[in-house]
Each structure stands twice: as structure tokens, then as C-alpha cells.
A and B are shown apart, each in its own frame.
Chain A
Amino acid sequence: QTVVTQEPSLTVSPGGTVTLTCASSTGAVTSGYYPNWFQQIPGHAPRSLIYTISNKHSWTPARFSGSLLGGKAALTLSGVLPEDEADYYCLLYSGGVWVFGGGTKLTVL
């Protein structure tokens, strides 16, 4: 089964910019992997931010953007706010099954 790899942890200063990445053990991530990004505040359900690379929901703040970068899916936060401190999970469709990454713990400090 595909292994999806994310940075375990990242730290960013308030107002800064940070990019989280999501890699597949099967090779370069493409649109056919339908990459998704979710935010999870501890104790709460995940919230979808981005679907199919870069599409946003009506509730997704403008400071969040998705892309493909160097063979990986990427989530960029620009103008980070303290409330962005959370766990972030990517999700890929690979080999006919959906697979979550291990998550990135983002600290805003």
C-alpha cells in the first residue's frame, strides 16, 4: 500500500509563510491523486481546506493555498495567524484507495 509522507512538525512566526508538503511512495503526485488537505485542531474533527490540488471550499480562508511542487502536493499558508496552529493532514488517492499522510504539527511561535 502507498505510504504518504509529510513533515512531522514545522514552526512558523505569526505573519510568516510556511509550506507543508505531501509525498507519495509511488512517485510524483499528480492531479490523478486528487490531493486534499485537512486542518485538525486537537479535540475537534478534521476540517477540509483544499481538494483536488488547489480548490477551496467556501469556508477556506484566503491565506491557504494548494499546489503541486517538485513532485509533491503542497499547502502554503501566507500571513499565518495564531489560530492556524493545528495538525494538518494530506490525503491522496493511490492504487485505488485513499491514503492519509501522517500529519504535520504546525506551531505558530
Chain B
Amino acid sequence: QVQLQESGPGLVKPSETLSLTCTVSGGSINNYHWSWIRQPPGKGLEYIASMYYSGSTNYNPSLKSRVAISVDTSNNQFYLKLNSVTAADTAVYYCARWNNGGDYWGQGTLVTVSS
């Protein structure tokens, strides 16, 4: 059974960079796409970006200028960096295996942007 776990700081200051890690267990990161999705409190889901294990990427145009995603196949992890954050970036951030849609999801991690 594939499992995903997000980790990273729960509090980030405005204008700084949000950095999250997703650790994949129970299966290999190879041969799949992997994605980040977020959900502001009380609101709907927003697709952030996805990446194939070998490096090709796909970004939400509205976030593309501030987002970087990467994969470490040796550690079975993938990463999200979102720079110049504001309060509007406060959300639960999910990672997911992306197989023409997300089949396996992490439990999510709340990131609050506040000084």
C-alpha cells in the first residue's frame, strides 16, 4: 500500500519561502507523476504542480512564477518550494501520486503564513 507523508514548517513568515517534503513509502517514486495540491481553510482544492520522476513538470499558471518542485528518487521523496508567500498562501498542503489524477494522497499539513 502506497503511503505519502508531508513534512515541513507549520509557520512561515510573509515574504519568505515555504518548503515542504513528501516522503513516499510502500512503493517506488519511479514511473509516476507526483503532485502538490493545497486547500485554504474552509475553501476548495487548488492544484499547484506536478512532476514526473524523471523531471518533466506541470504548473498551475497562477502560481508558476513562485513555485519549484523537485524529486529525489534515491530517497523516494519529492519537494515543494513556494516563494514570496503571503497570508493567501495559508492552507493545508497535500502531496499525491498523480496517475491522470491523484490516486494516493498524504494526510496533509497545515502551513500558516504569519509574522
Contacts and interface: CB of A to CB of B under 8 A. Distances in A.
B61 A48 contact: no
Contacts of A51: 99-101, 103
Interface residues of A, number: 24
B95 to A, nearest CB: 10
Contact of A36 (B46, B58, B102, B108): B102
Interface in B36-79: 37, 44-47, 50, 58-62
Contact of A45 (B94, B100, B101): B94
Interface residues of B, number: 23
B15 interface: no
Nearest to A102: B44
A63 interface: no
Contacts of A44: 107
Given A45-B94, A46-B94, A99 B47 contact: yes
Nearest to B102: A48
Interface of A: 1, 34, 36, 38, 40, 44-48, 51-52, 57, 89, 91, 93, 96-103
Interface of B: 35, 37, 44-47, 50, 58-62, 94, 99-108
In the A-B complex, the 10 residue pairs with the closest CB atoms? A36-B101, A98-B47, A100-B45, A51-B101, A103-B44, A45-B105, A34-B100, A48-B103, A102-B44, A45-B108
